[in-house]
Every structure is written in C-alpha cells, then in structure tokens.
Structure 1
Amino acid sequence: MVSAVWLAACSAQVPEADEARDASPPHEAVSRETSWEGELEVVVVDPPAPVASWEEYFVTEGRQRRQVVFEHGAPAGLRSGQRVKVQGREKHGQLVAQGADVDTHAAASLNTCGPLGVQRSLVILAEFPGMPRPGLTSQAVHDMFFSTTRRSLADYWSEVSEGRTTTTGDVVGWYTLDRAYSCSETSAMRDAAVQAVDADVDFTQYDRIFIVHPMPQEGCRYSGQATLSCGSVQTQDGAVTASTAWLVAEALTPHDRAVELVTHEAGHNLSLHHASTRDFGTEALGLPGTQGALDEYGDVFSTMGRWNLGHYAAPQKARIGWLAASSVAEVDGVDGTFTLAPVVASGGLKALKVRRRPGSSDWLWLEYRQPMGVYESTLGSQVFGGALVHYVDAVTMDGSHLLDFTPQTPSWTDPALLPGATWDDPYSTLSVTVDAATSVGLTVSIAYRQAACVRAPHEVQVTSLAPTDWPGGRPEFEVLLINRDSPSCAPSTFQLATLLPQGWGSDRVPTQRTVAASSSVYLGLQTYTPYTTVPGTYSVGLSATRDGHTVQGTASIDILARCVLAPPTVTVSPQSVTAAPGTDVTWTVSVTNNDAGGCDWVWYDFYSSLPARWDTDWSDWGVNLPPGGAFTFTMTKSIPSTARGSHTVDLSIVKDEYGTVWSDTFTVDVAEPLTRAR
C-alpha cells in the first residue's frame, strides 16, 4: 500500500469566494479543477541583497515540467525529490494549488543523496555566446570549492560536521551554451549545461551539481539559488539523483565572499533553510505561541544567514546528523550545571537542548563559539564571551532562529548571554545562568524555579473568519483568551459571555474556562444573523471575567444585502451562419452574472455536444464572475469536409454546484461555395 500524507497550507485559508471578491480582477478567466502528479523540485532563490528569499515549486512527469503556485502559502516539509500530487486550478500554464499529497514511501526511496559522507561535486563553468567570458579562472573556482589549504566548501563542511562530511570533485569548462539564458530560465539553463558537458562527464559519479554562469545582460534576480535537497537530473548517462545550485560568476569574488555564497547555497542542497533572527522588542523571548519580528537572513553568525562564514547553527547541525547524540544534552524540567565545549573543539558537549515549558515543543538551543579555526575567527567578538541561543518552536520549521539576550541594544552583533547574567523566562519557570566562560568551555546552569506568583490582566482577542456575511448567514469568529499571570501562578477560571448584536444568536459557548498561567486557549464562536438584519457593520465578541474584573474583545463584520440569485444574461453571435465544408465557424458569447451584490462569485462552465463529431475549440473553458461581472469568450466549431445541409449547434452554460442556467441552439448551413461557370 502506498503511504501518503496530506500537507496542508501553513497560513489560514480564506474561503475561495471571499478571497476572489477581495483580490481577483473582475474578469478573471481560470480553467477548471485539475491535478498534476510527479516528482517535486523546490528551488530557494536568494536575491543579491539578502532581505527576503522566495521558493519556487515544479512538478516533473516524463518530459513535462510545470510550475506550482500555492494559493495560501506552501505546505511545510516540502523537499526536492518527493513524489507528489497537487490539485488546483490551471492558470497561465501554472497550477494554483491548495496543498500537496506526498507519497512518503516513494520520496524516501528516491532521495538517496544525503548530508553525510563524501559529497561528489561537479562544478560546470557555463558561458553564453555573444557575451564576454567571466573573469574567474578554473583554478579560482576549484579553490573556493575544494581547496585544503585555504577556506573552501570542502574545508568548511569538514570542520562544521567534525569530519562527517566533506566534498571532492571536479571543475569543468568553460563550456559555451547554445544561447544566452535569463535568470528565470534556470531549468533550461541546467539542461543546456548538462548537454554541453555530457560527452566529457560521467554524471553517475556526482551527486552535487553547481552551475557557474555569467550575469545576463538584463541582470539577475539572484546571486545564487539552489534546490532544497536532491532530485532527478536527466543526462545521457541516465537519470541521476543530485542537487543543483546556480551561481552568478560575478558574485564569486573575492575568494571569501565566494565561499560565503557557496556554503550558503550548498546548505540549501543539504535541506537547510535560512538562519534568521527573532526579535521580541525589549524581551529576549516573548509569550509562547507568538512569532515576534523575523529577519529572514538576520543571523550573522551562520553562513545560512546574511553572508558570513559562521558555522551552521546547532539545531540545524543536529537535524542533518552533524552532531553526535552524545554531543547534545537534553534538559527537560530537571535542574543542572553543564560545560559546553567550543563548537570547533574535538569532542565534548556541543549543545544544550532545553525545554522551555513542560509538555511543550518549544526548545532553547545553547552553544559556545570561540575564535578557533579559519571560519569562527571571522565573526564578531561578543559571541565568544557567552552562550549563543537559538529558539525552536512551530514557527521555526527547518530554519534556525537566533535570540538576542542584550535586547537593550539595537544591534544583532551582540546577542550572547554573558557570564554573570541570569535570564528568567517571564512566561515559564525556566532560568538560564552563564556561570563562567574560558577558552576551553562555557559553564551554564539550568533551573526551573519556584517564583512568586504575579497576577496580570488577562486579554481577549477576537478575529472574524470572513470579512462579510449576509442576513440569515452564519458568521464564524475565533477567540483567543490569554492568561498573562506569571508562570508560577495557579491556573485561573474565567467566566465567559458572548457579546452579540440585538437579535443575533450563537451556538453555546462554555460558561467558564480554566487557563494555565502564561498560557492561552482558542475558542470558536459560531453566530447566526436574523434574516431581518439591516446591512451594515456589526461588532461581535466575548467577555471574560475573573475575580470581578471583566475584559472584552470584539471584531467587526460587514453584513451585506442578502444574496438573490438570477439567471445570467447571455448573448451569442451569429445566431445562424452559412459556411463551406472543411472550414471553421466561430461564435462570440458574452455572459453576465445577474446575481445580487451580496452573492458569492460564480463559476460558469461552457459545454457543447452538437453537432456530433464536430471538433470544438474554446478560448476559455469557464469563468469565475462576481455579481454584475461580465465576460466574453469564443466557441469555434470545425466543419467536417463531408458535412452538407443544415446542422444544429448547441451551447449550455452550467453554474458550479447548481446546474444548467442557460442553453440555446444555433444553425449552420453547410454548402459548397458557388463557382463561376467558365
């Protein structure tokens, strides 16, 4: 049996009709639902100014490669090499999808190149015809990848993984490709580069492919981009499983800058995401479940952040097997004192993984950096004096999030928790103290304290799940009840009451709810609007009372006029036509959605089955229209060469989830054209 798992989109999904009403153009033509199945490729695109990256998704089956755009954000956990099925609407050659169905068994068997052992790398130097060859020499590129006497990808991986991983390989080229490629044609560029070198290279000997290419004349949207893990690459030697990275040659100077870029893109090839910072303002770490402010490339102590030569962060090393289990101490509710060895040291304890709250999946990772080796010595000096701390929770996923334990300064160059300092988590009982720091070790004490209870006002936050509804509708709301008491306080019980406009109803809400200190709970609030509700803006919410103190939270919703359905208006031209056998006849059709303004958008499908065995070509198969929206399309019939006489042509317009709302027939008289007598 095939094992599969559904990966739902991360962000909250807006109902399709509401999102279309807010964001879609008034005449958006979209094809009907379809699905694609094949091997997934995920490409991380790093712009020249590292502020915000983006990911691109492609599904390949046979010779067909199609781009997938996830309508509500990509699902978590997608990797190149996975076998997926995506379903959605085809638009402009792309699939606008809701999620991805991943065949986990097929993905595991396909994705055979991993982050351990010797990585076999092929670097292809590709130049474009009609453009000057980049100034990089083959030896310079070889040094940035494979040198053992200066900084390089091979040396970096060997040091950071403590010898578990390195890379060997070859640099080939320069090879002139068949044409110049833009930076939005990287798949075609890879195919051309593989074809150019195929006669000289045995691709079965490599599992990492790097393509170094010139800056196109129109510029480039990236300095480098890379596949997230490995996938199938077609060559004359057959399909090989390999990762790919594309590097702009002009970005590979000077040497250390090149190593920063190469180790970053190669990190994506190992499945690593970016090293970010997570800012909670005046606090080092905020309320559990809150995101804070993320700077995607903000960590300047990891090469997966804004360009630098620092080690990959401890949680990322652990995930790809670059830290031995004995090198990580997990601390879960038990006090203790630990000595961390520098990350570059041989052996010793390299990381503390400390659970923030009992039963949670929130962890703090502590590590110790020292100016040892040729990579860590390039970093800012403040981190050499204390504990560098990363946070892992549901927001982190496969990246890393650096915390700032000197939040009183505006800089992220001094984030370490220094000796003599104690951090007491204001939202749990966790306490972290750095006792001492020497060149050989960092002593850290972890305690789960019993502190005095400090009561704080609670909060109620209400969110409407849709911005609009109508009389007789069922608006839904989400309520967040936050208990901001200090962690050592006992749980509190809150008395709850709905806040509804006059005449509205709701499903029963619990009359009381108990919430632990420094925690929060979500509640659903299903309401009902009377059919007599006057269109306008209304407030809905919940009150929570504890010890006589009441806090209210509300959200607004717009009630629109009730939806009144009406048949569409359809005009067709021509109604009748005379044409010759073997020719085409085209009808121009206009359709207008006459539903009232309070109605949802409507999907109309177009169908025609008569005359039998006449081919039909549509400019559009269907259309999504708002109330009052209009759209024009064409229907073309190909008349068989054997046809003669009068024929009936039909056309039906079908409303999604409703049925046929309009149909008519037209006449085509087929006759041989008159010829002039000689």
Structure 2
Amino acid sequence: MSGCAAVGGVRDAGPPLRAQAALGVQRVLVLAVSFPDVPSVPALGRVKDRMLDRVAAYYAEASWGKTQLRGDVRGWYRLPRPLAEYEVSPYNIQVDRRRVRRLVEDAFSAAETEVAFERYDHVIVVVGVTTRPGVGYGMIAYSANPGMLTVGVFRYGGARMETVVTRGGQRFSGGIIVVAQNAHPGHVVHDLAHALGGVVGGRRPIPDLYDTVLQGKVGPLSAASFPKFTVFIGPWDVMSRHFATWQQPPPGMSSFTRLRMGWIGSDQVEEVSPGATRPVTLSPLAGGKGTLAVRVPGRWGTHYLLENRQPLPGDPVLPAAGLVILHVDESREDGDGIVRVVDANPSVPDFGAAPFGVRPGQTPSARLPGEVAVEVLWQHGADLTVMVTTPSRGAEVQAVATRIRGTDRSLRQLPDAPVHARARADLAAARDLLLQMKLADARARLDAIQQP
C-alpha cells in the first residue's frame, strides 16, 4: 500500500525517568519455595535454566552487554501454610496485597538461615506449583517490589520500594518478583524490568505498557486474550506483551524502554524540532550501534520516537520490519498508555503491519500533529534513511525518493560494467542532493540517467 497515516496528540508531559538499578552487574537470587500440600516440584537445574540463565542471556543481548545478571538458585524451601492461604487473583486490580506480603515474608523467612539477602540486588521468588490464570497460585507472575507489596494507591505518585523483614531480622529493600514454576522467560524478563527500574519520585521508570485496568476486564486470560488488553503497543515491547507464543523467546524492547533503562546513549538519539528538515540514517535498534532513535517533540509536551526495528538476536520476535513510530506521553500513568504505536496500517490487527517503510505493501510516509512529516527514503541493508520535514515538503521529498528507489532497482539489474558507471554516479549524486533538500537538482540528475 502507499500513502500516509495520521494520528492525534494527547496532553501534558512529565520529566523523563531512568531506571535505578539496570546497569552493570546485578546480583540476583532465585528463591524457590514449595507448599506443604503441593509435593511435586521440578529440579532446581530446570528452574535455573528458565528463570536465570535464559533471562540473563536476554538482558545481555537486549542491553548490548550493559546489564549483566549474576546469581544463585536456592531451594526448595517449604512454606509454613497451604497454597490456599497464598493464592491471588490473576487480575492486577484484584490482587490481595496482604497475601503478597504473606508469601514474600514467609519465603524470605524460610530461607534466612542459609541466605544472606544483603548480598543480592534482586530476588526472584519461584512458587512451586503449576499455574494458569485462576489455577494453582492464581497469577503466573508479578512484580512485588516495586508493585504488589505496596498497599493502597500505586499510581499517581504512590509507587515506592518496600522493605521485607524476615522473622530473624534480616531486611531487604531491593527488587522482588514472584513467578510460578512454569512461567515463560518473558514473564520473568517483564517483571524483572520493573525491579531493575525501581522507583523515582513515586513512579516506576519502567512501566507496564499494556492496559492494566483492561487486563482485569477481558475475561479468562489466555494467549488469545492478550490483544484485547495490549492495546497501546501490542507485541512491540516485552513490557506490553510478555511473549508471542510459548515456543518463542520473549519480544524485544522498544527505544522507549531501552532509553528508560539507560542503555541508549544521548549521542545515539537525534532530536528534530517540528518545522525543521533533517535526514537521519537509523541503524537497527537491536544492534546497539549508530543512531538508534529520532526524537520529535509533539504537542503539549509529548514527543515521538522513531526507531528502526529489524530481525536481529536482540529483537527476535517481530511482527514486521521497518520504521516504528511511537507517541510518548510521560504524564500518563503506569499502564495507561504512556507509549502508543502510530500504526501505518490499522487494517491489520494487533499492530501486525505497524512499521512504515519502502518494502512492498508498506507506507513510506507519516503525518504527525504539529506540522511534522516523516518520509522513509530508502533502506540499505538493515539501515533506514528517513527525512523528518514538514507536510508541505514531504510529498515532494517522497516523490523524488520514489524515483531514486525505482532507478536504483533498475540499475541493479544491469551488469557492473564501465558503461553503466555514469548512471550509477548520477544516482549517487541524486541521493546526496535529496539529503541536502536540493530537490530540483536531484530531479535533474535523475533525468540525466540513461537506461537501456
């Protein structure tokens, strides 16, 4: 398809946040606990592979080596109460926070004679029961600290890091997540990201990117129900969609989450103000090198992030490849649509064709509020070159870029012979002239190219 997609703005923005414990070596304890009335638990080796090794590999790849998880697996420790006294709802908004604290404090106390919790930055509590929504423990995974340990209003500045005190007096105020023994590694990745983010000014720097209220209203939770509440960004970030299918690795992270994690340097982000015209070549986000994002200020303090998503080890589960545009409203609450995808093709469900691009069937042009046009010019290898400009210039820019791409395809069919060298030189010159916004000169160079 061809043409443009348009979106609207939102409201006031707050200052950007950064994760508090996401860089360098993070010491992680996997604490496996069992229930007296659930005797069968998996071997600790399987727990280590699923909850630590595969999660550590994900973070090493996603962060380009900037986050390293190192840790131990200890267990199984028997909890003092039957499963029924710990069970929670599968829905975020219905979880009994008192039961969460009961589980966490009992788990820590069960291990305190063998574990010095001060040695660790984060604890992953693994509950020894196979769990599905409303079955077993009730919820398959959640972040307890920051998160479910906090009683009362968690949003609107109410997030905080709680302190867990064992019966013997050990105190722990680091990140804590709780996962069932059969959790997907994506569950662990997602909730550990909350823990790595911590709390700043009453807010979690690494928020949920799915609709946390809608999650409690869609009916029985299943893989089929995920699109019903991951309505803001779908499968484009593990903080929205924990996994695509059970057999696949977790989805990658968007530039928004990677920026919040502190993995993307300021020198890897180009800022283009509305009304300005600037070409930018975006390297693949998952590669970690070169320019990884373009930031365009939007209305009422919001902004847009442009990112190049390509299938790489750090982005293993993509619905499609190309330029993904995100609308970011820092003023929104955790789980209330801080990040929303600008969908290039809303007729395809679940953001399955959201990227803009120059591949067959893709839309190369986007129109954003505030007199901003984004034109995808061409793709060389995995790199995308885009022009951020104004709508009045965008159509002409894209017209020249379309001619350049068509001429390039034609010349690539010709043998690499000296007779065609002049045509290729004119094409390269036309590209350079377009990047300088010398559109008439670029057209003249294209007109001069003679093809057999």
Q: TM-score, normalised by structure 2?
A: 0.63
**Correspondence 1:226 to 2:143:** yes
* 1:143/1:410 CA distance change after superposition, 3 Å: closer
Secondary structure at the residue paired with 1:139?
A: helix
1:424 matches 2:367: yes
Report the CA distance shift for 1:159/1:396 in structure 2 as closer, same or farther (over 3 A).
farther
SS at 1:187's partner residue?
helix
Deviation of the 1:448 alpha carbon: 2.4
Read off the aligned partner of 2:73 and give its amino acid letter.
V
Out of 284, 288, 307, the position equivalent to 1:342 is 284
Task: Give the residue type in structure 2 aligned to 1:344.
Answer: A
> 1:337 deviation in Å?
0.4
CA contact under 8 A between 1:274 and 1:400: conserved in structure 2? no
1:163: which partner in 2? 65
The match for 2:324 is: 388
Offset, 1:231: 3.3
Q: 1:249-648 counterparts in 2 under 5 A? A: 249-250=181-182, 252=183, 258-269=184-195, 270=197, 271=204, 272-276=206-210, 295-296=230-231, 298-308=233-243, 309-333=250-274, 334-357=276-299, 360-373=300-313, 375-380=314-319, 382=320, 384=321, 386-393=322-329, 396-397=332-333, 399-419=338-358, 421-425=364-368, 427-450=369-392
8 Å CA contact 2:145–2:174 kept in 1: the answer is: no
**Structure 1: runs of 5 or more not aligned:** 1-75, 80-107, 253-257, 278-292, 453-678
Give a deviation string over 1:319-358, Cα, whole Å, max 9, x none. Answer: 231211111111113210001111222420111111235x
294 and 171 in structure 1: CA distance in 2 versus 1, 3 angstrom threshold: closer
**Structure 1 position 372, deviation (Å):** 1.4
- Looking at structure 2, the residues matched to 210 and 325 of structure 1 have their Cα atoms a distance apart, in angstroms, of 32
> Which amino acid in the other structure matches residue 59 of structure 2?
W
- Is the Cα contact below 8 Å between 1:275 and 1:305 reproduced in 2? yes
- Secondary structure in 1 aligned to 2:316? helix
Residue 196 of structure 1 pairs with residue 110 of structure 2: yes
Report whether the alignment pairs 1:119 with 2:18.
no
Count matched residues: 313
| Contact 2:100 2:144 survives alignment (8 Å) | no
Query: In 2, Cα distance between the equivalents of 1:322 and 1:234?
Result: 33
Q: Say if 1:329 and 1:352, in contact at 8 Å, map to a contact too.
A: yes
State the Cα RMSD in Å. Answer: 3.0
Q: 1:288 matched to which residue of 2? A: none
The answer as to whether partners of 2:87 and 2:137 remain within 8 angstroms in 1 is: yes
- Answer yes or no: is the 8 Å Cα contact 1:335–1:445 preserved in 2: yes
Given residue 260 of structure 2, which amino acid in structure 1 is its aligned partner?
R
**Per-residue deviation, 1:241:** 2.3
Cα-to-partner distance string for 1:115-158 (whole Å, 9 max, x where unaligned): 22211111111100022323x321122112432xxxx2111112
User: Cα offset for 1:298?
Assistant: 4.9
More strand by share: 1
SS at match of 1:130: coil
Measured after TM superposition, the shift of residue 240 of structure 1 is 2.5
| Alpha-carbon distance between aligned partners in 2 of 1:296 and 1:239, rounded to the nearest angstrom | 39
Query: Relative to 1, partners in 2 of residues 1:319 and 1:127: Cα closer, same or farther, differing over 3 Å?
Result: same
Alpha-carbon distance change, 324 to 158 in structure 1, aligned in 2, over 3 angstroms: same
Q: Show the counterpart of 1:182.
A: 87
Q: Is the 8 A contact 2:207 2:239 kept in 1?
A: yes
- Give, in whole Å, the separation in 2 of the partners of 1:367 and 1:324: 14
- Contact 1:423–1:432 (8 Å) recurs in 2: yes
CA separation in 2, counterparts of 1:413 and 1:337? 27
- Based on CA coordinates, which of the two structures has the bigger radius of gyration? 1
Aligned equivalent of 1:240: 172
1:305/1:113 CA distance change after superposition, 3 Å: closer
Structure 2: how far apart are the matches of 1:364 and 1:226?
28
Counterpart residue identity of residue 412, structure 1 = F
Partner of residue 222, structure 2: none
Residues 343 and 354, structure 2, Cα contact 8 Å, conserved in 1: yes
Contact persistence 2:26–2:69 (CA under 8 A): yes
Q: What amino acid is the match of 1:302?
A: D
User: Closer, same or farther in 2 for the Cα pair 1:295/1:154, shift >3 Å?
Assistant: closer
Deviations 1:433-480 (A, max 9, x none): 11112333111110024489xxxxxxxxxxxxxxxxxxxxxxxxxxxx
Give the match's secondary structure for 1:344.
helix
Render the CA deviation track for 1:8-28: whole Å, top value 9, x for unaligned: xxxxxxxxxxxxxxxxxxxxx
SS in 2 for 1:118: strand
Higher helix share: 2
- Per the normalisation by structure 1, the TM-score is 0.43
Greater CA drift, 124-133 or 307-316 = 307-316
Of the three residues 20, 41, 44, the one matched with 1:138 is 44
Identity of aligned residues (%): 23
Q: What do residues 278-303 of structure 1 show as CA deviations (whole Å, max 9, x unaligned)?
A: xxxxxxxxxxxxxxx98457521211
What CA distance in whole angstroms lies between the structure 2 residues aligned with 1:218 and 1:356?
44
